């Protein structure tokens, strides 16, 4: 999928937090990395049509995205979202968490919603957890339910914002494995992550956001092996400081 951003800027209350972001790449799997507060979530939300830029333009596969609410609502229904906290309904079991939006937002029949949800939850290794509510699931299982829900709408692009940053390390691996498997099966995604091993080895492209600017982007190997800017070099060396 071609993602083209031209001169995107975004301000909150008159303060600009994204500065002149331009990007034009074929995206199958893209990691957005960078320090906290750098604008990663804001950029992902704009790409996902959850937020309009203050100025600039965006094209997906050559189609210009209009930023009025009606057009954005339409556009959003073609995407899947996974956030840090999963955002599951606490009073619903895993199966219903996936099936409910299919019926209410996407107008699938009861049977279709049920069978599609079952199929996905089984594929993500949750066949034994269908009737469990979020409180009865581990953090990793909750995120897998959230991923199943995002995939259930058959999105053309999956957007994940730090899906593992609230998880213990063993659950982090379990969730990243799922995303890697999805990629191998052809799911396209953009992920905001602090998991550099994942960005490097499971993503084709990497974008480095620093202080609201897109300082570098390109092939994952190039970004990690030959960082060009002092900011990226420093960011990577800080991360590697305590790695084994």
Nearer to ligand ADP, 31 or 98 (CB): 31
Give min distance, CB of 146 to Mg ion, in A: 16
Q: Which of 3, 23, 40, 216 binds ligand ADP (CB under 6 A)?
A: 40
Q: How many CA atoms are closer than 13 Å to the CA of 217, on its beta-carbon side?
A: 21
Give min distance, CB of 36 to ligand ADP, in A: 4
Residues 6+ apart with CB under 8 A from 122: none
Residue 37 is a binding residue for ligand ADP (CB under 6 A) = yes
Per DSSP, the residues of 219-234 read EHHHHHHS--SHHHHH
Q: Which range touches ligand ADP (CB under 6 A), out of 33-41, 84-92, 164-172, 181-189?
A: 33-41
Residue with tokens 């995107």: 8
* Interface of this chain with Mg ion, residues 36 to 95, rule: CB under 5 A: 40-41
# residues near ligand ADP by CB under 6 A: 9
Q: Which of 14, 36, 62, 90 binds ligand ADP (CB under 6 A)?
A: 36
Q: Which does 144 bind (CB under 5 to 8 A by kind): Mg ion, ligand ADP, none?
A: none
Contact yes or no for 196/235 (Cβ under 8 A): no
Q: How many CA atoms are closer than 13 Å to the CA of 175, on its beta-carbon side?
A: 31
Angle between helices 110-123 and 94-104 (to 10 degrees): 140
State the residues that interact with ligand ADP by CB under 6 A: 12, 17, 36-42
């Amino acid at each position: 999928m071609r993602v083209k951003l031209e001169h995107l800027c975004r301000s909150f209350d008159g303060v600009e937090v994204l500065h002149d972001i331009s990007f034009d790449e074929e995206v199958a799997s893209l990691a957005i990395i960078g320090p906290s507060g750098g604008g990663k979530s804001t950029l992902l939300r704009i790409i996902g049509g959850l937020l309009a830029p203050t100025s600039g333009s965006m094209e997906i596969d050559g189609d210009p995205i209009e930023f009025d609410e009606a057009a954005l609502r339409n556009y959003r229904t073609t995407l899947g979202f996974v956030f840090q906290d999963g955002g599951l309904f606490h009073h619903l079991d895993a199966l219903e968490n996936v099936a409910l939006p299919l019926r209410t937002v996407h107008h699938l029949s009861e049977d279709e919603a049920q069978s599609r949800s079952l199929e996905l939850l089984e594929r993500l290794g949750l066949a034994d957890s269908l009737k469990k509510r979020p409180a009865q699931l581990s953090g990793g299982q909750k995120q897998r339910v959230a991923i199943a829900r995002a995939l259930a709408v058959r999105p053309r692009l999956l957007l994940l914002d730090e899906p593992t940053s609230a998880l213990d390390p063993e659950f982090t691996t379990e969730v990243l494995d799922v995303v890697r498997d999805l990629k191998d099966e052809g799911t396209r995604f953009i992920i905001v992550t602090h998991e550099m091993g994942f960005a490097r080895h499971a993503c084709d492209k990497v974008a480095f956001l620093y202080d609201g600017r897109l300082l570098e982007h390109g092939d994952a190997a190039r970004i990690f092996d030959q960082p060009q800017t002092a900011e990226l070099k420093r960011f990577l060396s800080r991360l590697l400081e305590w790695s084994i």
